[in-house]
Structure formats: structure tokens, C-alpha cells
Amino acid sequence: MISRSLVSTTLAAVAALALSACSSGGASTPATVPADVGLEVDAGPGIKFGSTEYTATAGTVKVAYVNHDAQPHSLAIVAADKTTLPGLLRVNANGQVDVGTYNLVPGTYRLLCLIPGHDNMRATLTVK
């Protein structure tokens, strides 16, 4: 026969595990962003970027893409002539960071998430 104490302890452990697994992922996990990053773009929480407008200085720019959400996101940088720059960044989990280096000339770019259903993840990048 199983004691009530053992059953209660087991149920409490299972409940605690279930609650931790059901975390919304909305709280951001600390991310490690390299110190020499010239542009940091945040994904989330939710299906949105951290801002609708970003700026960077022309030249070779290290871009960090930081996920503040439980779902995956991508970051494409599209030039004014609609050419997508090589180097799609991807973050799959809360707190994950992906870094890429881009040669940016002055102008206006679009930042997009290419994950299906993430169409509202759009921002403007102005490079001076």
C-alpha cells in the first residue's frame, strides 16, 4: 500500500514540473550580446520586433538578433532595391542570440521575419 505522504509528495513534484513546463516564455532570459555589435535587433515578446525603427552607421556592421520569445524568429535585411542581403539570422528559443556581419551602405532597409505567420514583424533600418 502506498502512503498518503508519498502520494502527496509525488503529486506536488508533478505539479511543480508541469507549471515550469507551461511557462509562457514571455520573460526574457539574459542573452550574451558581443560588445562590438553595431546593431541589436530584438524579437518579441510576441510576434513583433522590439522597435519599428533602427539606425546603424554605414560600413561593416555586426548585427545581433536577440530572441525575447518562446517561439523561433528570423531576421532578413532587405535593401531598397528589394535584394535580401546574404546571412539570414535565426533564433529558436528565448534568450538565444544569432550574430552576423553585413556591409551596409547608406540608405533605408527593411527588417523582416520570414517565419510563416510573422508578417507583421517589419521594421525600418536607416543606415547613415
Band the pLDDT of 60: cuts 50, 70, 90. very high
| Topology at the third CATH level for domain 34-127 | Immunoglobulin-like (2.60.40)
The rounded distance, in Å, linking the Cα atoms of 63 and 91 is 13
The β-bridge relationship of strands 107-112 and 73-78 is antiparallel
According to the model, what pLDDT value does residue 23 have?
A: 36
Q: What is the pLDDT of residues 8-46, one digit of tens each?
A: 433 333 333 333 333 333 444 456 898 999 999 999 999
What are the extents of the domains in the chain?
Answer: 34-127
Helices (H), the chain: 4-21
